[in-house]
A and B are shown apart, each in its own frame.
Chain A
Amino acid sequence: MTGLEIDGISKRYGDVVALREMTFDVRPGELFGFVGSNGAGKTTTMRIALGVLSADAGEVRYDGAPVTHETRRHIGYMPEERGLYPRMKVAEQLTYLARLHGMPAADAQASVTKWTERLGVAGRRDDEVQKLSLGNQQRVQLAAALVHEPRILVLDEPFSGLDPVAVDVMSQVLKEKAAEGVPVVFSSHQLDLVERLCDRVGIVRSGQMVAKGTVDELRAGGALRLRVDVPEAADGWADGLPGVKVLGRTGAVTELELGADADDQAVLKAALATGPVREFAREQPSLTELFRSVVTHQEVPA
């Protein structure tokens, strides 16, 4: 079982290169976080996967076979540009969308009941979508992606515009879907959320995948950071240690970055030499920091 594979997708609009050999895969049962700056090519990639846009080159595969029109009926999609018929009632609209994905009428209605309850919009089934608050419209939009019981989930910014309760519901639903064996890929700018939820993360820059893997794997590439609380040390206590760079000092806390040739035990000895050491901790760079360093430091060859 190979899940969803995006293989070497390229797309250009005139002279503008939108995607360059975009490649990644989402395994069954995996939550894949798709992050990148605005305009990096996340939405274009998802649109191509859904067949809404055509690619200039490359292939999208599911379960080893190229994605066809029939396969796409199994994808639950939440477009970045949210869209529902404003003057259609919630339940009618969801039933219609489920049926467009090939669900029989009776199953579609049962599924609408199930998902509107699950997502907390059961009381609004007979209201027109335009009468709902933006947050509730968002929940209906998610229901639209889930109502046909998809085997693949592709969600563009599913968390934007949600209140904290809805974020929790959404996270829970995504985890459940993954547990059922569904490959789930979603894009987000809320990197703390991505870090917490996703099994693997892909970072996109200028239409290319520049880093992908688990958050730990991404960290492995970066330099090790230390946070040392040495209240009695003089400024520059850590200068001259081999491979050690002082990032800054706030009060008693000094932030250090250790190169590959540095020895953290040497740093600890130097710290103890200044007096008491209250804290000596490895700092895990957050995904946000990793993202920043990947997106700003690496130059993509033109």
Chain B
Amino acid sequence: MTTPAPDVRMSPAAAVGLVASREISTRLKSKAYRISTAVTLLLIVVGILAIKLFSGGGADSKVGYTPATAGFSAPLKATGQAIGETVDVIPVADEAAGRAKLADGSLDALLTGDGKSLHVQVKKDLDGNLKDVLQVLSQQVAVSQQVAALGGDPARFQEAVASAKFVEDPPLEQPYDYNGQQLVLGIIAGILIYMSLLMNGQIVAQGVVEEKTSRVVELLLSTIKPWQLMAGKVLGIGAVGLIQMVVIGVGGVVTALATDVLTISVSAAVGTVVWLIVWYLLGFLMYSIVFAALGALVSRQEDVGGVTTPALMFVIAGYVIGISVLPSDPGNTFVEVLSVIPVFSPTLMPMRLAMGGVPVWEAVVSVGLVVLLIPVLIWFAARIYRNAVMRTGAKVKLRDALRAA
């Protein structure tokens, strides 16, 4: 008889930590994870650089004018400004030189003719916005000519027309001025949250089923408790997802700020990333424990999809509603209400927060509700998991898993 080894003391935290670190090292080593992170980051950075590159000149269209049509150049620019189209006017020596520039693409349009009426030539198609500018300009030319024919002063007439304005009384409610860039940020935040909830949630469910299918779960449960196994798995996969989210979020925002594509304040940009991470964590915790419990009900990878669909529908519904309503109507009341309800808030709230204009109380209440819901879900999930994870074979009914002692 050998002397007995000292009693093994392992705290629950140590057990959870061991399980979590196995998940982390397994996932970090997986090619799929590295590639998906790199590709997403690359897409975002390339997207930002592309925006930078193509919006480079600042002008929406470049229009050439000949000495004969020089009189139109200043009104063209002014009209463009009034309509919201930046028009660059570039002098060319004559029509032939201008056509050459049209052909090589350095001009979008060329003003031709004798300067009395507006003639324009393009390579292929006239840009819609430029067409509107030219239409307005040609009307002005016609009006000026009529005013002159009637003996008036076209310049004074134009001035009077241009200075006419209606007076706007202060609005009853100050609307939130949504910034276009923040709307885009909101959409990107929504897509990122949605993708990572979908991916990491499924990974949790698949991981649970993998342990069931390979029967390794029996060996694991002979040394640690079911809740420790479940918690370790959720935390490990969550941490890996968090790393991915931070890399993509920070990488994207830093690139955008550095290239001046994003001109909102640094604090707003950082705020967006912080909210993104907070909501990723809340959403992931909430959904992944549900996915872990649902995964425990089945024994084959093929059944994971079926059993997790009901929970996934909430994630998808939130995302679809958000992405289809918010960009055009960021203040939508229906979405505002949904974004406070826990099952939808992880997808909707980060989009709204990134877009801005969310009252503080709404942000606090939505976080609070999810924080309150998580312990309840953990209790249910642990019960389902404990009762179902050792039962292999046919799918365990949810009711049986909840009832069994």
Query: CB within 8 Å of B: which residues of A?
Result: 1, 28-29, 47, 50-54, 69-70, 72-75, 77, 79, 81-86, 88, 96-97, 99-103, 144, 149, 151, 180-181
The smallest C-beta distance from B165 to any residue of chain A, in angstroms, reads 71
Q: Contact check, B219 vs A77: say whether CB atoms are below 8 A apart.
A: yes
In the complex the two chains form, is A85's CB within 8 Å of B5's CB?
Answer: no
Residue numbers in B under 8 Å from A84 (CB-CB): 214, 216, 219
If A51-B222, A54-B405, A97-B219 are given as contacts, then 12 extra A-B residue pairs at C-beta distance below 8 Å, sorted by A number, are A47-B218, A52-B390, A72-B223, A77-B219, A83-B217, A83-B218, A88-B26, A96-B22, A100-B19, A101-B8, A101-B223, A180-B2
Which residues of the other chain, B, contact A103 by a CB distance below 8 angstroms? Answer: 8
B222 near A72 (CB under 8 angstroms)? yes
> Considering the complex, which residues of chain B in the window 78-129 have a beta carbon less than 8 Å from any beta carbon of chain A?
none
* B43 proximity list for chain A (CB < 8 A): none
Which B residues are in CB contact (< 8 Å) with A50?
222
Residues of B within 8 A of A81 (CB): 215, 218, 392
Residue in A closest to B26 when the chains form the complex, CB atoms: A88
How many residue pairs, one in A and one in B, have C-beta atoms under 8 Å apart? 76
In the assembled complex, how far is the CB of residue B403 from the closest CB belonging to chain A, in whole angstroms?
Answer: 12
B1-32: contact bitstring with A at CB < 8 Å (1 yes, 0 no)?
11011011110000100110010001000000
| Contact A85:B8 (CB < 8 A) given known A96-B18, A99-B18, A100-B223 | no
Please give, as numbers and ranges, the residues of chain B lying within 8 Å of A88 by CB-CB distance: 26
A-B pairs with beta carbons under 8 Å apart, 15 shown: A52-B221, A52-B222, A70-B8, A72-B223, A73-B8, A82-B215, A83-B215, A83-B218, A88-B26, A96-B18, A97-B223, A100-B223, A101-B223, A149-B5, A151-B4
- Among the listed B1, B8, B216, which residue makes an inter-chain contact with A28, where contact means beta carbons less than 8 Å apart? B1
Q: Quick check: B219 and A73 within 8 Å, CB to CB? A: no
Checking A1, A75, A83 against B216 with a beta-carbon cut-off of 8 angstroms, the contacting residue is: A83
Interface membership of B225, Cβ < 8 A: yes
Contact of B15 among A97, A100, A144, A180 (CB under 8 A): A100
Q: Which 6 A-B residue pairs are closest in the complex by CB-CB distance?
A: A83-B215, A102-B8, A181-B1, A83-B216, A81-B215, A50-B222
* Selected contact of B7 from candidates A70, A82, A97, CB within 8 Å: A70
Task: Please name the residue on chain A nearest to B8 by beta carbon.
Answer: A102
Knowing A53-B390, A84-B216, A96-B22 are in contact, say whether A151-B5 is a contact too (CB < 8 A).
yes
Q: Which residue of A lies closest to B228 (CB)?
A: A100
Contact B216 A85 (CB under 8 A): yes
The residue on B at minimum CB distance from A28 is B1
Min distance, Cβ B25 to any Cβ of chain A, angstroms: 8
Whether B337 is near chain A, meaning CB under 8 Å from some CB there, is: no
Which B residues are CB-close (under 8 A) to A75? 222
Q: How long is the Cα–Cα vector from A290 to B219 in the complex, in angstroms?
A: 33
Contact between A85 and B223, CB atoms less than 8 A apart: no
Instruction: Report B285 CB to chain A, min CB distance, Å.
Output: 24
**A52 contacts B218, CB within 8 Å?**
yes
Does B60 sit within 8 A of A, measured CB to CB? no
Q: Mark B155-177, 1 if CB is under 8 A from A, else 0.
A: 00000000000000000000000
B218: chain A residues at CB < 8 Å are 47, 52, 79, 81, 83
List chain B residues, Cβ under 8 A from A70: 7-9
**Could you say which residues of chain B place their CB within 8 Å of the CB of A73?**
8, 10, 223
Q: Considering the complex, give the chain B residue whose CB is closest to the CB of A86.
A: B214
Distance (whole angstroms) from the CB of B290 to the closest CB of chain A:
24
Residues of B contacting A101 with CB < 8 Å? 8, 223
Instruction: Give bound CA distance, A180 to B4, whole Å.
Output: 11
Shortest CB–CB separation between residue B1 and chain A, in angstroms?
A: 4
In angstroms, Cα B149 to Cα A99, docked, is: 98
Closest chain A residue, CB of each to CB of B14: A102
- Closest chain A residue to B220, Cβ basis: A100
B382 CB to nearest chain A CB (Å): 15
- What is the minimal beta-carbon distance from A253 to any residue of chain B, in angstroms? 48
B309 → A minimal CB distance (Å): 26
B210 within 8 A of partner (CB): yes
Query: Of all chain A residues, which has the CB nearest B224?
Result: A100
Within the complex, the shortest CB–CB distance from B401 to chain A, in Å, comes to 15
In this complex, what residue of A is CB-closest to B218?
A: A79
CA distance A195 to B216 in the complex (A): 30
* Nearest Cβ on chain A to B33's Cβ, whole angstroms: 14
> Given known contacts A72-B222, A74-B8, is B2 in contact with A181 (CB within 8 Å)?
yes
